[in-house]
């Protein structure tokens, strides 16, 4: 394929991605004196919105309270203070704190971009990167619109990939088969009496239930959950002292330490959540000490339980789900999707892992499972080094991508969910923002 090089868009730094991770990087780079004009952002859509915050539905709320949703890691009151002046949302207040709409957090991020860059227009190419290649003095970046760009340094900030169906699916997305529900615009197309099946039981499913409740949906809702439970509710806990992790070198030791810390009480209690938060504070360092095989073993065996405790739901979404269940509208089915077939009545028949079947007018994919096509291609072609036998890239604690010879690359960096296996608990916005701040500081130091 022939690409058209655009020399007028060459940059000191190219950021691949346009979601929250990319926006956080731009903000912290500008805060550290990096000129925004030296940055080229490549990615579609509004910078900073991404999959998590580029939603239309007011019912889609942050799953953590305002003081824990941080773009500035060391300033817990920054977003809450901005919200007091700029957000009109009486329903944000709960017994556990303030839980604002996701779309309003996107407005906050945009305001911080304007403040950090002096409202100067950023250079952004609304395309998707399909390949990167090392060249003399930097990197060549190739896009799906057949353009190419050169950057002296490159930051992979691709964020959360679009979810895929958990089974092979030959049907196209439609108003009755929704693969990517994160924007919430599908709610406007739903027949209020339709029978709905949600596939998956995490925060995406909780958002969907909250959105349906807000629109006063009348039809029955089935929810497929492999473990038979929904995320627990956020409670009014207060941060405590960080937990000092002992030296753990095996998965069994790591799990034992975590269980000993958490065994007393129930996860609905503020004290339990406080201990869990303390455990998280040092978990990334402990995680990086484990062999890669042990990390993968922990993900397979206990990852689902960790995610439930880690990604708790806002009180508003829990109330919506509880009310639906109490009146018999919501049914939790402990099973997984195995097949999907269209029926003559224009509905869908779902085959389940427990050999049962289920009919629904509308099927919504709430699994959140996706594959980053760029990361996978770069690993398949050897441009990114896999971590052990995993499908995740090797990244240093300094956020440098590891070269095939085992050394950190001085001009290729990665932040966000793609670094989770290498670096630990980096899935939430606050963790990603901390990575962005660290990257900006290191780049600023390197340029001195």
Nearest to 307 by CA among 253, 365, 368, 239: 368
- Whether 35 maps to a domain, the answer reads yes
Q: What is the DSSP string of 266-314?
A: -TTSHHHHHHHHHHHHTHHHHHHTS-HHHHHHHHHHHHHHHHHHHSPBP
Same domain assignment for residues 387 and 291? no
Both 319 and 300 in a single domain? no
d(CA 57, CA 110) in angstroms, rounded, equals 18
pLDDT of residue 420: 92
State which H helix or E strand residue 159 sits in: none
CA distance 133 to 30: 26
Q: Please give the backbone phi and psi of residue 232, each rounded to the nearest 5 degrees, phi first.
A: -70, 165
State residue 148's pLDDT score.
Answer: 94
Q: Mark whether 257 and 303 lie in a shared domain.
A: yes
Report if residue 244 sits inside a domain: no
Q: For residue 241, is it within any domain? A: no
Is residue 322 in some structural domain? yes
In this prediction, residue 215 carries a pLDDT of: 94
- Domain holding 298, by residue range, is 251-310
In contact, 321 and 230? CB cutoff 8 Å: yes
Give the pLDDT of residue 405. 85
- Picking from 130, 100, 125, 106, the residue whose alpha carbon sits closest to that of residue 24 is 106
Burial class of residue 39, CB neighbours in 10 A (0-12, 13-18, 19+) = buried
CATH number of the structural domain spanning residue 187: 3.50.50.60
User: Which pLDDT score, from 0 to 100, does residue 172 have?
Assistant: 79
Spatial CA neighbour of 91 closest among 63, 68, 69, 59: 59
Whether residues 49 and 132 fall in one domain? yes
Say if residue 182 is in the same domain as residue 321.
yes
Tell me 2's DSSP state. -
Number of compact structural domains in the chain: 3
Given a contact cutoff of 8 angstroms between Cβ atoms, the answer to whether 156 and 414 are in contact is yes
Verify that 220 and 112 share a domain, yes or no: no
Q: Are residues 212 and 340 in the same domain?
A: yes
CA 435 to chain CA mean position, Å:
14
3-state secondary structure of 253: helix
- Assigned domain for 402 exists: yes
Residue ranges in the chain modelled with pLDDT below 70: 346, 444-448
- Which of 270, 289, 310 is a domain's end point? 310
Q: Are residues 321 and 226 in the same domain?
A: yes
d(CA 411, CA 138): 7
> Are 27 and 111 found together in one domain?
yes
Q: Quote the pLDDT of residue 361.
A: 95
Q: By the 8 A CB rule, do 165 and 179 touch?
A: yes
CA-wise closest residue to 13 among 127, 155, 156, 157: 155
Q: Is 15 within a domain? A: yes
Residue 406 burial by CB count (10 A; 0-12/13-18/19+): exposed, middle or buried? exposed
The Cα 399–Cα 226 span in angstroms is: 34
Q: Which candidate, 167, 207, 170, 208, places its Cα nearest to that of 351?
A: 167
Residues 133 and 259 in one domain: no
- 119 and 33: one domain? yes
C-alpha to C-alpha distance for 352 and 335, rounded to whole angstroms: 6
Q: Report CA dihedral (390, 205, 267, 274) to the nearest 10 degrees.
A: 70
The predicted pLDDT at position 146 comes to 94
Q: What is the predicted pLDDT for the residue at 447? A: 61
Q: Is residue 121 part of a domain?
A: yes
Strands 123-125 and 39-42: parallel
Within a domain: 243: no
Domain identity same for 48 and 113: yes
pLDDT of residue 113: 94
Q: Rounded CA gap, 223 and 147, in Å?
A: 43
Pairwise CA distance, residues 195 & 176, whole Å: 10
Position 241 scores a pLDDT of: 84
């Amino acid at each position: 394929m022939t690409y058209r090089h655009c020399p007028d868009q060459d940059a000191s730094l190219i950021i691949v991605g346009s979601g929250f991770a990319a926006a956080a990087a731009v903000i912290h780079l500008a805060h550290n004196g990096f000129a925004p004009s030296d940055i080229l952002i490549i990615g579609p859509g509004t910078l900073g919105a991404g999959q998590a915050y580029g939603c239309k539905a007011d019912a889609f709320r942050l799953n953590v309270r305002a003081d824990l949703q941080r773009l500035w890691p060391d300033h817990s009151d920054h977003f809450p203070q901005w919200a007091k002046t700029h957000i009109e949302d009486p329903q944000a207040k709960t017994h556990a704190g303030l839980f604002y709409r996701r779309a309003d957090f996107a407005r906050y991020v945009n305001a911080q971009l304007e403040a950090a860059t002096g409202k100067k227009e950023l250079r952004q190419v609304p395309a998707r990167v399909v390949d990167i290649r090392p060249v003399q003095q930097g990197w060549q970046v190739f896009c799906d619109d057949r353009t190419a760009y050169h950057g002296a340094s490159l930051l992979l900030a691709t964020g959360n990939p679009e979810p895929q169906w958990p089974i092979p699916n030959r049907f196209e997305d439609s108003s009755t088969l929704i693969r990517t529900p994160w924007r919430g615009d599908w709610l406007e197309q739903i027949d209020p009496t339709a029978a709905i099946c949600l596939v998956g039981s995490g925060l995406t499913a909780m958002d969907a239930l909250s959105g349906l409740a807000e629109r006063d949906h009348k039809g029955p809702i089935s929810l497929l959950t492999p473990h038979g439970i929904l995320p627990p509710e956020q409670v009014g806990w207060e941060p405590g002292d960080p937990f000092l992790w002992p030296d753990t070198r095996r998965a069994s030791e790591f799990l034992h330490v975590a269980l000993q810390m958490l065994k007393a009480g129930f996860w609905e209690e503020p004290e339990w959540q406080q201990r869990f938060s303390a455990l998280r504070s040092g978990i990334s360092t402990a995680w990086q000490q484990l062999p890669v095989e042990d990390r993968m073993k922990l993900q397979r065996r206990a990852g689902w339980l960790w995610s439930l405790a880690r990604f708790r739901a806002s009180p508003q979404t829990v109330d919506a789900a509880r009310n639906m269940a109490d009146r018999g509208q919501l049914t939790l089915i402990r099973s997984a999707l195995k097949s999907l077939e269209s029926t003559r009545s224009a509905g869908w028949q779902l085959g389940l892992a427990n050999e049962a079947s289920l009919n629904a007018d509308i099927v919504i994919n709430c699994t959140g499972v996706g594959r980053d096509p760029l990361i996978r291609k770069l690993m398949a072609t050897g441009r990114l080094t896999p971590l052990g036998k995993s499908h995740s890239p090797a990244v240093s604690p300094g956020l440098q991508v590891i070269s095939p010879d085992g050394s950190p690359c001085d001009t290729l960096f990665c932040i966000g969910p793609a670094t989770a296996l290498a670096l630990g608990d980096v899935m939430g916005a606050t963790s990603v923002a901390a990575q962005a701040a660290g990257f900006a500081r290191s780049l600023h130091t390197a340029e001195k």
